[in-house]
């Protein structure tokens, strides 16, 4: 005989055999489970949409960064061209006004006076600025520029009545001491043309200036002026100032850091790669 159950379960009469009870219980459980499955699917769908458009921001962002670097490169090239044109412009009389001097950076100026060789300063190490040699060696894996120093000499301007600082130019290490280049130590009053330069701040990894040993590594005009008794006004003498046995003038290097092309390639490359992966996963539905 069958085992009969006369109780009810959740409003359902359970008067059949145990096998019937199992079937009805299964149906009741399924009724309660269906809404849960629907909710889970909706949550998963929402997460997929969020992931899809969240990852889409990666190629969009890298594309914007690449485009920004294109604009930055154009700006940098224009700035370099402006500096190159300034340095080749006609020289103007030197002004003593600090605000006007800031506007004259990289502009040639002309002065008249004489050097005070007893207070030379040395910025080192420096290599010779030689555009012709650099053009010949362009593209070579290695080059061997001669190392030395730039000689900074106080220059009394007779017309202005002040002493300024003049970068006379490059000398090799063996000619660093003044007694090794006596022929180039000009004593007469001369006309001089040079390019205005402003003070520098010490860059990372550049040593501190050693004032006691007269070893300067960057252009600190206030400190140099204090040591020599000159005004904090600095010019790079042009190449025409070079005399036999003396420093080689024209040591103004017009160069600005311009690595924007590398950044352009990097950002646009990342944009292309991430765009391809996004299209493959979310449009073609191919697992990565």
Per residue in 161-190, pLDDT (tens digit) is 999 999 999 999 999 999 999 999 999 999
- Position 150 pLDDT exceeds 90: yes
pLDDT band at residue 287 under the 50/70/90 scheme: confident
pLDDT band at residue 50 under the 50/70/90 scheme: confident
For 196-249, how does the pLDDT look when each residue is reduced to its tens digit (9 = 90+)? 999 999 999 999 999 999 999 999 999 999 999 999 999 999 999 999 999 999
- Please tell me the predicted confidence (pLDDT) of residue 1: 42
> What are the start-end ranges of the H helices in the chain?
18-87, 98-103, 131-136, 221-228, 260-278
Residue 187 in tokens:
């004593």
Distances (CA, A) of 219 to 172, 238, 278: 19, 18, 51
- Predicted TM-score of the model (pTM): 0.68
pLDDT band at residue 28 under the 50/70/90 scheme: very low
Residue bearing the bigger pLDDT, 108 or 53: 108
Residue 187 burial (CB count, 10 A): 8
Spatial contact of 106 and 84, defined as CB atoms under 8 Å apart? no
């Amino acid at each position: 005989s069958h085992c009969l159950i006369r109780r009810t379960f959740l409003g359902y009469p359970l008067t059949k055999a145990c096998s019937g009870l199992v079937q009805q219980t299964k149906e009741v459980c399924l009724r309660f489970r269906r809404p849960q499955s629907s909710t889970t699917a909706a949550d998963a769908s929402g997460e997929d949409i969020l992931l899809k458009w969240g990852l889409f921001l990666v190629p969009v962002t890298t594309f914007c960064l690449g485009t920004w670097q294109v604009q930055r490169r154009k700006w940098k090239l224009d700035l370099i061209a402006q500096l190159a044109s300034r340095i080749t412009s006609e020289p103007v009389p030197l002004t003593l006004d600090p605000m006007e001097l800031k506007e004259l950076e990289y502009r040639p100026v002309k002065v008249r006076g004489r050097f005070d060789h007893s207070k030379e300063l040395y910025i080192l190490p420096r290599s010779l600025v030689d555009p012709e040699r650099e053009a010949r060696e362009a593209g070579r894996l290695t080059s061997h520029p001669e190392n030395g120093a730039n000689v900074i000499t106080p220059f009394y301007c007779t017309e202005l009545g002040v002493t300024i600082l003049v970068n006379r130019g490059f000398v090799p290490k063996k000619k660093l001491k003044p007694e090794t280049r006596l022929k180039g130590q000009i004593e007469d009053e001369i006309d001089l043309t040079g390019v205005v330069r402003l003070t520098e701040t010490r860059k990372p990894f550049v040593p501190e200036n050693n004032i006691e040993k007269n070893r300067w590594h960057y252009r600190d005009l206030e400190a140099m002026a204090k040591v020599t008794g000159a005004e904090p006004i600095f010019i790079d003498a042009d190449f025409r100032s070079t005399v036999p046995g003396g420093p080689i003038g024209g040591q103004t290097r017009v160069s600005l850091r311009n690595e924007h092309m590398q950044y352009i390639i990097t950002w646009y490359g990342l944009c292309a790669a991430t765009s391809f992966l996004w299209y493959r996963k979310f449009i073609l539905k191919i697992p990565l």
